[in-house]
Structure 1
């Protein structure tokens, strides 16, 4: 929002300097992004009178001018403009002046052998227009001119400063000069001088399809579309960042900048020619566009509409995109004599969808999207009609209103105790003290609120322009704190203060990240918004910015594979990543969120090249699976593997379900060859996906998380090897579990040391060899004590797996 200080001073008393005012607005929530001092554009530029104009002796297109600039003698200036002549008043940039609009510093010099001591300026060189046909002739811009030599800035409206404010979404009132004036009055205590509004103009009911909006249309006759706006109006629009078009359109834009309510004027005669029918108020309607409808906007761009776009129609012909832009064929032109003036309140989501569907954002749409008070729709229509009456000998022939009008607003109870409890005491010279009632009332009254006494505090009625923002008690408390100054309130901390600490689950999650990084994997963070999928149902979000971010993700591995693809295409030999993130399932009404630990090990691992003499060597299945083993062992967790054959992502013979504490935790496996070929990934690509919640539950159990002392053994161990022939389908994990159970209490450790397949063993038979470690608690074990336990282990394997003993 661009705020002209000179315009602001006409609305509210401003005694502060521009810098002080900028600071106060920024501290109050309206951050000042930029300060544009317009006077800098005309610094050193004065009013001059061309006394003589002669042709340059050495150039046909140059003129030599004698110009009176209020000095003792006229100065000589060489000018190249075709419209320069004697007897006119012009802006003259004196020697030493700088023109920032064109980046030029004026110096004395010679042009084709003739001395020149200044420059006669055009409006473009003063930053007032983008293009100009020649020098600025001040006699044509204003009838009363100041004396020669006077600064030209006041004459051209350059004696002003413009503030560029960043307006937050919860303060749509900040998108109007009146809203900013109210804010300044509340901050500084200055008196307001706001334009008078007719809050209840005469209207007639409008019965037509309005698609849920509040709509008013006014017939005004006797305007002149060829008439330019007066200078003061053009200057206000230019400082507000709006181009001047003609007096009719400029009045609608002025009301938008002044009050915040966008308006639109339709050419009444053009509408009748377009539709081929007489047009009255009932001819207008609001509906969703039909797929394929063509619309040409005021920007002369042809667009194809769809059902996401809301349009204003005349006899069912689209004449405007509701809240965004009018059509070119129904717009005000130089031949316009009668207009239909539209003032409406369109639903913010509908305007946002329309603007996004068309890729079009305008001053009007930005205001509608933030939300406007319905109470201001009719008064702003009447305000524009009054301004038009001042410019033209025009008259209203009727104003029609349809849709849901302003609802009866109710007061908000502000409790004194709630305010003091939330804000705390003020830091005063005599010690902390609560904010007094008078200060509270002054703050709210300055915002335009009406207060009535209540036994607990006040009943507050917010002004129409602030009712969208001031709906709750806490909103009023925030406004009081903002106007008083947040820095004036003392610390209001809990008593007593207790030190914070990470919970065991948070510590375990941090340790997980550190352990995976220590094994050579890199942590990544991917977007939780993804495109739609044909393979699985995903939850769509209601207002996506792009089709690629329109749904909630259901997994992490798809984006991890894409990361690998991008890295390998960038000449990386491998890519190993992991992520802790959420996946989403269910329906839009009941979204289920699940925390997942997932990752990919792909290609050569660069940290291991020292072991292969620098030659690339991709990890095999067991080396990749060992990464998870090392991490879990550090957390004192033991995972067992069960064959997995029904996961379409993974190689059916090289995949496993990971089991923790007897329950499935996730999966690990090599990427399916078909998918690896489709993505152009190496064969040695492995995925893992674990349930984070279950993993943290297991890692933080008291018997694992709290270290317990265990004495070092004082007696030696004894090892025995045991080889058995079992069915190929028998998992080593199951055999180890049976050995552990049968070997209690002397068995300390068991591990698989060999697995052999051969024809001599028989069909579907394998040999698995285990190393068992026995140790007594207080004595060295002898063979006569070990052998019975070892025989018990052999018997258990024979009974459970029909194992044939080889040793």
Structure 2
């Protein structure tokens, strides 16, 4: 949201300077993103006049201009603008001036062997508009040699603030002024409602609403207007915030949008066919919008149509066929309200972003129909003409939001003590009405433009942000007594294993408990073992992992694809299988240790040969882990016939009695294709819950002496 300081002061009576206003805006939640003080950034650009132009001798598209820079100084400047011609006044950048768009310095130079002593600037080069075709032409009454900014209304600061989605009321300058006045930075100049002048006939165009997404529609027919260029004050206002002046009638609707956050639209009444209605489009209907693009509509897009075809996409953009031009004599003014959902749906589907859509999506004031008279009076004052009586369709009555608010809630929620009168003053300046009060209890009526306020805590937030979050007292919490919990015996062993494996060169992995079912199905006997995730964070993480190998191998694949081919990772974590689908209940949510190796165990050096990971290296790591629970020599080793994702001839299992405690060896080559890995993989899985678990050691520490409650007695 952009506005100028002078525009703000049209509604805020304040002596505060730009710095104070900017700081206060951020304090009350309207974060200032950028401040451009054109009176500073453009002070080195002056008014100049082109005296004569001649074709550049070495370039078809360049002209050599003789420029009066003031005080009798005439400069020769090469210019490529198509509108460079004698007698026009333009902004001049002398040698040494910094150009805002690009931040480069103008230097004396030769362009195609012709000397150039400055630059004649376009609006885009000065960062005052996106229009960059041609040099900026200044008013004829501009005085050569003066600072040029004041002649186009840019001797003013432009402030840009970030508006959160709930603050649609501050998408207008008036709403921002209201918040600043509530924060004590001046007095709000109330925008009084006006009665339309010279309305003496009924509109020949009637309006109706045929869909619940159209809430209300106010329309006025204005005849015999002169839709020429806007007056300078209006043109400068819009251009100062980057809006192009189009014509008086259109500029007035844009002025209303920026001033009050109230979008409006004008149709060329002579181009409409009959009456207007708010309805859903029909499949296949088409509209050429004001952006000159043709859009094919569907039955879920809300439109404003005459008796033949759609003339606007409601709340988003008008149609080109009924757009006003300088030749328009009769217009129809639309000020309507649509549901945010309908406007959002149309804008997203058609991918159209406009100022109107942006405001409707963030809730336009329900009672903003009161601005209809203000819009009519502006049009008739600037363009002339005669206005009809106001046509009204839809429901303009809305039940008020009421909140029974206890002022003590501010202290309870924020620790901020505030007097009753101060709180009432803030709320009333923000537009709340106090219906009744009883002690600290206030029955509040929420203003119609604050649709985001629904509960008591919202009112607390309003009071606190106006007072200032930095004024909330700092209250330190008491330091809690934290009981240090000693590790259990299993946890101590896990820590020891982590240290052993890390010291031997392995890297610990910590992966999601979720995994990809398409990869995980290679590690289970049946998909019935999967525990599916009801609301997965990603479609690729749709089941709980049935094996630790799945995610480690996925990590291997990503590393190998990036050129890191020598890897050894381990993980200590739980696996998950559906209890009803497995024979061994201990596999339901068992704690396992997995280690995977690939590539080189050690590179060739002066003292040893290159060594690859193989069956023996993975068995050594398995033995290292198991030795923390039991001597591996006491285990029975058998050929692996249980896990088909291991190589059938290069893998084995450890058993303690009938209990399977580990499987290790080379992984089945079929997994290489699944994970797109072209080198051999070795893995071990230790099922630690099937190993003898350590018992807690009996402490031999001497207990602390307990003090006796009584004094000793000696006899």
Q: TM-score, normalised by structure 2?
A: 0.71
Which residue does 1:257 correspond to in 2? 258
| Secondary structure of the corresponding residue to residue 253 of structure 2 | helix
1:439 Cα offset (Å): 2.2
Structure 1 contact 77–115 (Cα < 8 Å) conserved: no
The match for 2:276 is 281
C-alpha deviation, 1:257, in angstroms: 1.7
Matched with 2:472 is: 489
Match of 1:615 in 2: 611
Q: Which runs of 5+ in 1 are unaligned?
A: 140-144, 273-277, 426-433, 542-547, 586-593, 712-807
CA distance in 1: counterparts of 2:494 and 2:226, whole angstroms = 72
In 2, Cα distance between the equivalents of 1:562 and 1:375? 55
Name the residue aligned to 1:390: 381
Aligned with 1:570 (options 555, 562, 566): 562
Name 1:367's counterpart in structure 2: 359
2:458 aligned with 1:464: no
Distance 1:104 1:459, change over 3 A: same
Task: Give me the whole-angstrom Cα distance separating, in 1, the residues matched to 2:637 and 2:319.
Answer: 67
5 Å-filtered alignment, 1:7-406, equals 7-47=7-47, 61-66=63-68, 69=70, 71=71, 74-79=72-77, 83-85=84-86, 90-93=90-93, 97-101=97-101, 103=103, 105=105, 123=123, 126-129=126-129, 130-134=131-135, 136-139=137-140, 145=141, 149-197=145-193, 206-210=208-212, 212-216=213-217, 218=219, 220-222=221-223, 227-268=228-269, 270=271, 272=272, 278-282=273-277, 284-286=278-280, 297-301=289-293, 310-312=301-303, 314=305, 320-329=312-321, 331-333=323-325, 337-339=330-332, 341=334, 343-348=336-341, 350-369=342-361, 371-392=362-383, 393=385, 395-396=387-388, 398-402=390-394
1:409 aligns with 2:400: yes
Shift of 1:449: 1.9
Aligned-pair CA distance for 1:191: 1.0
DSSP 3-state at the match of 2:21: helix
What is residue 543 of structure 2 aligned with on the other side? 554
Mapped to 2, the partners of 1:265 and 1:531 lie a distance apart of: 57
Alignment-derived partner of residue 709 in structure 1 = 699
- Contact in 1 for aligned 2:128/2:240 (Cα 8 Å): no
Task: Find the aligned partners of 2:672 and 2:313 in 1 and give their Cα distance.
Answer: 48
Can you list the C-alpha shifts for 1:565-608, whole angstroms capped at 9, x where unaligned?
A: 332222222554769899999xxxxxxxx999999855517666
Alpha-carbon shift at residue 258 of structure 1 (Å): 1.8
1:353-407 C-alpha deviation (Å, 9 max, x unpaired): 55444555443333334x31452452355544443333332534653433x6553
> 2 CA distance for matches of 1:502 and 1:21?
51
> In structure 2, how many angstroms separate the alpha carbons of the residues matched to 1:294 and 1:627?
74
Check 1:18–1:553 CA distance in 2 against 1; reply closer, same or farther (3 A cut). farther
Secondary structure of 1:35 counterpart:
strand
Residues 137-162 of structure 1: CA distance to partner in whole angstroms, max 9, x if unpaired? 421xxxxx466544322221111111
How far apart, CA to CA, are the structure 2 residues paired with 1:187 and 1:503? Answer: 51
Shift of 1:34: 1.7
C-alpha distance in structure 2 between counterparts of 1:221 and 1:631, whole Å: 94
Structure 2 counterpart of 1:449: 432
Judge conservation of contact 1:46–1:148 (CA < 8 Å) in 2.
Answer: yes
CA distance in structure 2 between the aligned counterparts of 1:100 and 1:208, rounded to whole angstroms: 51
User: Hey, what's the Cα distance between the residues in 2 that align with 1:297 and 1:666?
Assistant: 70
Contact kept, 8 Å, 2:619 with 2:665, in 1: the verdict is no
| Aligned-CA RMSD value | 5.8
Q: Any conservation in 2 of the 1:295–1:303 contact (CA below 8 Å)?
A: yes
* Number of residue pairs aligned between Structure 1 and Structure 2: 649
Which residue number corresponds to residue 480 of structure 2? 498
Mapped partners of 2:386, 2:687: distance in 1: 75
Instruction: Confirm whether residue 677 of structure 1 aligns to residue 668 of structure 2.
Output: no
The CA distance in 2 between the partners of 1:357 and 1:641, in whole Å, is: 65
1:12 Cα offset (Å):
0.7
Bigger Cα Rg: 1
For residues 589 and 317 of structure 2, what CA distance do their matches in structure 1 show? 45
Taking a change above 3 Å as real, the CA distance of residues 686 and 121 of structure 1, as seen in their structure-2 partners, is same
- Contact 1:599-1:689 within 8 A present in 2 as well: yes
Q: 1:570 to 1:49 in 2, by over 3 A?
A: closer
Q: Distance in 2 between matches of 1:633 and 1:668?
A: 17
Of Structure 1 and Structure 2, the greater helix share is in 1
Partner of 2:449: helix, strand, or coil? helix
What corresponds to 2:705 in structure 1?
none
Per-residue CA deviation, residues 152-198 of structure 1 (Å, 9 max, x unaligned), is 22221111111221222332323221221112112234111243346
Q: 2:67–2:77: 8 Å Cα contact kept in structure 1?
A: yes
User: Is the 1:47–1:91 Cα contact (8 Å) retained in structure 2?
Assistant: yes
Q: Deviations over 1:419-449 (max 9, x none)?
A: 2233325xxxxxxxx4322222222223222
Match of 1:717 in 2: none
